[in-house]
Structure 1
Amino acid sequence: MPSSRFTTRGWVLFAIMAILWGIPYLFIREAVESFSPAAVVAVRTGGAALLLLPFALRQGALKPALRKWPWVLAFAAIEMAGPFVLLAHAEQTIPSGLTGLLVATVPLFATVIAVIRGDRGALRPLRTIGLVLGFAGVAIVGLGSSGGAGADLLAMGEVLLVAVLYAIAPFIVASKLNEVPSLGTITLALGAVGLGYAPIALLTSPQPPAPNSVISLALLTVLCTAVAFIVFFALIGEVGPVRAPLFTYMNPVVAVALGALILSEPLTPALLLGFPVVIVGCLLAAGGLPIGDRKRADVPILSEPDPATPRNSR
């Protein structure tokens, strides 16, 4: 049984996940300097699937996933195939830190989807305030960071679409794949996406890649995809599915800090002003921190083998 509080091991796993899913935006930004968005997605997903395959086979997780293959492919399209290529394309234009912050709006869209699905509890005053704050923060960051540039606004729109897709995917898992082991779903989905993008990757990345791009893509594949999912499963087993995703609120902090320190991305006034507004809004929209209430699950979460939502996988 998961602990009712964060253990030392839980805090260690929490910190690892905050980093592993906070640094993909840095690696993506470096990778797209040499590789096309399709190539980044093909290598990232295909490579991670190969790394996870032995674990999935050992647990017998693939057979249940194969029996539900249409829904696994739907999950793969919404959680990986669309978002991963949109992120890679957007980061050819906008900074990695801004990308990480905009992806953090997933709880806002998850709350909107919950309302559309008939969950009136999502309209509680505190959560409504969170929605207003969160989208106001996005407007501050977006309009202030773009300076009216159409390409920047389009790229930010792509990232916000990613957040919408990330918010939709858990509902597929919760309703159609809840009895399938998460590792089987993830491995099969990653493999399908990798195979699907492989032909496009071969046609769109003909030039010799720079060493930095190769290293970044390798780290994105191994650390931010394959290892991250394994650590995430361990975190869920340690602290439970309600507390496990709390690290997602640290991801934008890591993304913005790394972008500024390593890539010298500017910390614009709009980013500095909108950043805390977005984070606080997302936290309130998601229902706040579930401290002391392990039965609460305002947003569907990835668990093994319960309903899943791999967050900022990104």
Structure 2
Amino acid sequence: MDSRKSIDITAVGLMVGICLIWAFQPIGLKSTTVFAAPVLQIGLRSGIAAVCVFALVRLSGQSMELYGRTAGLGALAGLLFAAEFFAVGEALKHTSASHVVVFLYTAPIFAALCLHWKLPSERLAAVQWGGIGVAAVGIAFAFLAPQGGGGETAGNLGAMLWGDGLALLAGAGWGLTTVLIRTTRLSSIPATHVLFYQLAIAFVILTGAAVLAGETTFVPAPPLLLNIAFQALIVSFLSFLTWFWLLTKYRASQLGVFSFMTPVFGVLLGVLLLGEPLTPEFAIGTAGVLLGILIVSAYPWAERLLTAARGGVAQREPS
């Protein structure tokens, strides 16, 4: 029997806060690219957060497997995590932060598609297939009509499309990471261990990639230092640990419904803080993506509510 409870006001408040924090990720990276490359920043924040997570594990008296099959799976999860954020860092060079956050958060769609084929309990219903179709149309609309009559040059438009494609690839990488964790022994170990594997591997790969690409410029200006501290301590450490704690207390399907708030916040923050344009075409495409994610994520919750309601009506009917 599932001991996790339905969401309450505490869960709602924490999820709103987490989604707002996650929405700040690309905003902070985009606004500080003049001081350090996004990939280098993500690598550094991953290293700092990995140290914090490892210290937390040790202080709690737990032992972490650093070699063997579980560690190997953890390393694979770390590779996918690093690939996801490498794509995010590169995407931010070519497109807006609001575009990145929308395409990155297509991850639930990719995860749902893969889990449909991997786990019988995760088979998609017809309504969810419809939601995936709606999201696909939204993605296509945002891709095919990105300029909104703004008069961008062919070069700028090509760069934007390349950045959008990388952000979508990052969403696919996140979805595959979810599938790996859900379908292997990683699902049975403490979430802090999985998070450490991901952060540690990302630190090694992303900082290494920045060095190989010659993107090692680091201007220790206050905005950059504050952003790295925020990304490491608040985003990669505190918010992820809070998210994992919520998953141990509340039903995942209900929490997942709230993930659609992150791209909404991301678009609004990009417009308000970075002055990024919000074209009608991208707004329509974004609405399609968010509606599709909401349909796919909310369907299991809605189905359970309807089943419970029917059961309650049946019990009240006279025999």
Structure 1 Cα separation of the partners of residues 77 and 63 of structure 2: 15
1:252: Cα distance to partner? 0.6
- Say if 2:142 and 2:285, in contact at 8 Å, map to a contact too: yes
| Partner in structure 1 of residue 172 of structure 2 | 164
| Partner in structure 1 of residue 314 of structure 2 | none
Q: Could you tell me the percent identity over the aligned residues?
A: 19
Letter in 2 for 1:237: T
TM-aligned CA distance change 1:5 to 1:176, over 3 Å: closer
TM-aligned CA distance change 1:210 to 1:289, over 3 Å: farther
Structure 1 Cα separation of the partners of residues 235 and 175 of structure 2: 19
- Say if 1:24 and 1:220, in contact at 8 Å, map to a contact too: yes
- Structure 1 or 2: more helix by fraction: 2
Q: 1:153 aligns with which of 143, 149, 161?
A: 161
Letter in 1 for 2:193: G
Structure 1 Cα separation of the partners of residues 256 and 304 of structure 2: 14
1:144: Cα distance to partner? 1.9
TM-aligned CA distance change 1:224 to 1:230, over 3 Å: same
> Superposition RMSD on alpha carbons, in Å?
2.6
Letter in 2 for 1:47: I
- The structure with the larger Rg is 2
1:280: Cα distance to partner? 0.9
SS in 2 for 1:274: helix
| Partner in structure 1 of residue 115 of structure 2 | 114
Structure 2 Cα separation of the partners of residues 280 and 86 of structure 1: 24
Letter in 1 for 2:197: L
TM-score under structure 2 length normalisation: 0.83
TM-aligned CA distance change 1:210 to 1:94, over 3 Å: farther
Structure 2 Cα separation of the partners of residues 235 and 150 of structure 1: 41
Structure 2 Cα separation of the partners of residues 128 and 292 of structure 1: 15
Structure 1 Cα separation of the partners of residues 292 and 187 of structure 2: 29
- Say if 1:90 and 1:156, in contact at 8 Å, map to a contact too: yes
Structure 2 Cα separation of the partners of residues 125 and 21 of structure 1: 31
Structure 2: unaligned runs, 5 residues or longer: 308-319
TM-aligned CA distance change 1:291 to 1:59, over 3 Å: farther
| Partner in structure 1 of residue 234 of structure 2 | 223
Structure 1: unaligned runs, 5 residues or longer: 297-314
Structure 2 Cα separation of the partners of residues 276 and 289 of structure 1: 21
- Say if 2:106 and 2:289, in contact at 8 Å, map to a contact too: yes
1:120: Cα distance to partner? 9.7
TM-aligned CA distance change 1:31 to 1:60, over 3 Å: farther
Deviates more, 1:246-255 or 1:56-65: 56-65
1:190-238 C-alpha deviation (Å, 9 max, x unpaired): 1232133334445522352543233222211121111111211232233
TM-aligned CA distance change 1:114 to 1:187, over 3 Å: closer
Structure 2 Cα separation of the partners of residues 269 and 169 of structure 1: 33
1:124: Cα distance to partner? 2.8
- Say if 1:4 and 1:239, in contact at 8 Å, map to a contact too: yes
1:165: Cα distance to partner? 1.0
| Partner in structure 1 of residue 311 of structure 2 | none
1:29: Cα distance to partner? 1.0
Structure 1 Cα separation of the partners of residues 24 and 115 of structure 2: 29
Q: 1:74 aligns with which of 67, 73, 76?
A: 76
| Partner in structure 1 of residue 315 of structure 2 | none
TM-aligned CA distance change 1:65 to 1:185, over 3 Å: farther
Structure 1 Cα separation of the partners of residues 130 and 56 of structure 2: 43
TM-aligned CA distance change 1:207 to 1:191, over 3 Å: closer
Q: 2:204 aligns with which of 184, 195, 199?
A: 195
**What does 1:81-160 correspond to in 2, within 5 Å?**
81-117=82-118, 122-145=123-146, 149-160=157-168
| Partner in structure 2 of residue 179 of structure 1 | 188
1:93-116 C-alpha deviation (Å, 9 max, x unpaired): 111111111112112222332344
SS in 2 for 1:161: helix
